[in-house]
Structure 1
Amino acid sequence: MIDFTVIGGPSSEQLAKKIAFKLKSKFIGCELRVFPDGESKITLKGKPSGKILVVQSIYPPVDSNLLRCLAITSQARVFSSQVYVVIPYMGYARQDRQFLPGEITTMELVAKMFKAAGATKIIVVDIHSMIALEHFHIPVKNISAVEELARHFKKMSLNFPLVVSPDKGGVERARNFAEFLGVDYIALEKHRDRKTGNVAIKSKGLEGVRGRDIILVDDMISTGGSIVKAAEFLKKQKSGKVYACCTHSLLIGDAEKNIIRAGVTKIISANTIPGKTSIVDVSPLIAKAIT
C-alpha cells in the first residue's frame, strides 16, 4: 500500500474522504473563502506528508473549481515531489480539438497548467474524450465507471432490459455495459448542430424495443438534450420504463425536470459530481487504480 496524504478539494471532499478511507491514508480538508469580487482563497486544514493525492472535480463553476484544483496542486508540491491529482470529472475535456475555424483548444492549456502547477500524475474518470488525454505531457490514467454503474442495475428487477446509447459515439460504452449485464444493446443515430447545439434523433423505428425496459447510457448528462430526445423517441416505440445512466451528472438548469418529463423513470449516476442522483461510489475504483 502506497503511503498517501489525501487532500480533499472543496468540490470533492466527501469522495476524497472515501478514497482516504480505502487507502487507509491521512485526510486533509480545505477551507474555502470566496471574496465579494469572486476570488477564491484556499487554506489547507493540515500539513501533508509523503506522497500527496489531491482530489478535486472540475464541474460548474468550472473556472473556479479548475483554479482551486491548480492552487491546491501547487501548494501540495511544496510538501512533496510526488503529487497525484484525481479529477473525477474533467472540465474542458470537450474542448479537445478545433471543430470550427478560430476555436481554441482549451484542453491543451489546461494540461499545461497542471504540469506547471506541479502535478506528477493525473487520474480521471470516464473522460469525455480520449483525445483530451493526449494533451498531457505527464502520466495520465482514465478509469471507467461503467462496470460499477452496470453492477447497480444488475441488482434491479428489470423487464427484458435493453442498453441504448443516445448516439453512435457511445456504442463502445453501451457494448461494455450490456456485456456486463448479459443483455443486448443498440445505438441511436443523433445529429447535433455545432452552432446551435440542437439535437435530433435520425434513427427510424426500431424493432425489438416495444415493452422492454431501457437503460440509456452516456458518459455525462449536462443540459439533458440528448437524453430527452432519446427518451421521447424510445417512448414512441412503446418501450417499457426508461432509465438514464451516466458517470457524470451535471444536470444544468432544468435538465432533471426535462428528463423526467420526457418519460425517464430515474436518473442514476456516479459520485464524481455530488448530487441526489450520484448513488454509485467510484472511490474503490480510484483507490485500486492508485495502488
Structure 2
Amino acid sequence: MTKLSVICGKASEDLGKKLARKVKANLVRADVRIFPDGESKITLDGEISKKKSIVIQSTYPPVDTNLIQILSMISKAKETSSEVVTVIPYMGYARQDREFLPGEIVTMKVLAKLFKGAGASEIIAVDIHSLIGLKYFTIKSKNISAIPDLVKFFKKLSLKNPLIVSPDQGGKGRAKEFAKKMGIEYIALEKNRDRKTGKVKIKTKKVDVVGRDLILVDDMISTGGSIINATKFLKKEKCNKIFVACTHALLMNNAEKKIKKSGVTKIVSTNTIPGKTSIVDVSDTIAKAIV
C-alpha cells in the first residue's frame, strides 16, 4: 500500500517530480485539458495514498485557472487520503491581505475558506508576500523561506565587495537575513508607491556603492517596476554589477527584458515559478517542511 503520494499540478510539474523523489513518495500526475471556454478538466493518473497526500501547485498566471485546479486536486485527494498537505510554492492573491481602500475585498480571507472547504489539512507556502494572509487560515499553515537556497547560489559566485540591497523598506528584514547568511552588509532604499496609479519613486538621496557588486533582493518580481527604479538609481551611484535575487519571478509584460535593459547583469529566481531565470531548486526545503 502506498504510504505517501505527491499529486502535482501542471503549474508545478517539475518541482512536484523533484519533491516526490526527495520524500520517497508515489508520484500522481494531473492530466489537464482546457476547454475552449476556459474550463479545466483534470484527471489524476496514479495511486493516491489512503494515509497522506501532498498536493503541490503554484498559483501564478493564469491565477484563477491554477487556483481552481489545485482546489479540485485537493478535493479528489481527500476522497482517498485521510490527510492532505497542500504546498503552494507561489501563493497568488497574497497581496490582497487587508482592506487598503474602502470596499476592497480581502481575497486571502476567501482563499482560506476555499482551501479548508476543499479538504486541505495543512498549507505550506514559500516566501508568501505577506504573512498576514496566513492568519486567515483556521487549518495548520506555515511559510518557509527560500533565502538559504538563493544564498547558496550566490556564495559560489566571485563577487567584488558585494552588498545586499532591498529596493524598499518593506523588504528590509529579508535583505538583513540574506546578508547575515552571506556574511556581508545590507542597505534598504526608500520608495513611494502611489496606491491608485501603482507608480514607484525612489526617495533615498545617496548611497555609498562605488565599484561594488550589488544583489537586489526581493520576494517576488511582477512587472519589475521597483527593481528597474532601484537599478537606475544605483547605476547613477557608480556601482559595479547588479544581480537580482528573488523567490518568485512572475516577470509580466516583458519584465525580464526591461530589467536587463535597465542594467541588471543576471536575474536569479527559484523554481516556485518555472522559467528561464528559475535556476535555484527549492524542493529540498519543501521536503524538510513536510513532517
Bucket of the pairwise TM-score, normalised by the shorter protein: over 0.9
Deviation at 1:187, TM superposition (A): 0.1
Matches within 5 A, 1:47-196: 47-49=47-49, 50-196=51-197
Letter in 2 for 1:252: M
> How far apart are the structure 2 equivalents of 1:172 and 1:248?
17
User: What 5-or-longer segments of structure 2 have no aligned partner?
Assistant: none
User: What 5-or-longer segments of structure 1 have no aligned partner?
Assistant: none
Deviation at 1:47, TM superposition (A): 2.7
Identity of aligned residues (%): 61
Letter in 2 for 1:218: D
State the Cα deviation string for residues 8-56 of structure 1 (Å, max 9, x = none).
1110011011000001110010100000111000000123013000000
> How far apart are the structure 1 equivalents of 2:290 and 2:182?
27
Deviation at 1:205, TM superposition (A): 1.1
State the Cα deviation string for residues 92-137 of structure 1 (Å, max 9, x = none).
0000000011110011001100000000000000000010010100
Match of 1:255 in 2: 255
Matches within 5 A, 1:19-38: 19-38=19-38
> How far apart are the structure 1 equivalents of 2:44 and 2:141?
25
Deviation at 1:143, TM superposition (A): 0.4
Runs of 4+ in 1 over 6 A off after TM superposition: none
Q: How many pairs align?
A: 289
Alignment check: 8 A CA contact 2:26 2:47 kept: no
Letter in 2 for 1:114: F
- TM (norm. structure 2) is 0.98
Match of 2:44 in 1: 44
Deviation at 1:253, TM superposition (A): 1.3
> How far apart are the structure 1 equivalents of 2:148 and 2:231?
23
State the Cα deviation string for residues 256-286 of structure 1 (Å, max 9, x = none).
0110011000000010000010011000000
Letter in 2 for 1:246: C
Deviation at 1:206, TM superposition (A): 1.0
State the Cα deviation string for residues 52-85 of structure 1 (Å, max 9, x = none).
0000000000000000000000000001120000
Matched, 1:279 2:279: yes
> How far apart are the structure 1 equivalents of 2:207 and 2:25?
51
Letter in 1 for 2:121: T
Letter in 1 for 2:162: P
State the Cα deviation string for residues 189-231 of structure 1 (Å, max 9, x = none).
0111100000110001112x01000000000000000000000
Alignment check: 8 A CA contact 2:30 2:42 kept: yes
SS of match in other structure, 1:12: helix
What is the RMSD of the two structures over their aligned residues, measured on CA atoms? 0.9
> How far apart are the structure 2 equivalents of 1:108 and 1:52?
24
Match of 1:202 in 2: 203
Letter in 2 for 1:237: E
Letter in 2 for 1:210: V
- TM (norm. structure 1) is 0.98
State the Cα deviation string for residues 140-192 of structure 1 (Å, max 9, x = none).
01000011101100000000000000000111100110011111100000111
Deviation at 1:3, TM superposition (A): 3.7
Letter in 2 for 1:220: M
Letter in 2 for 1:262: S
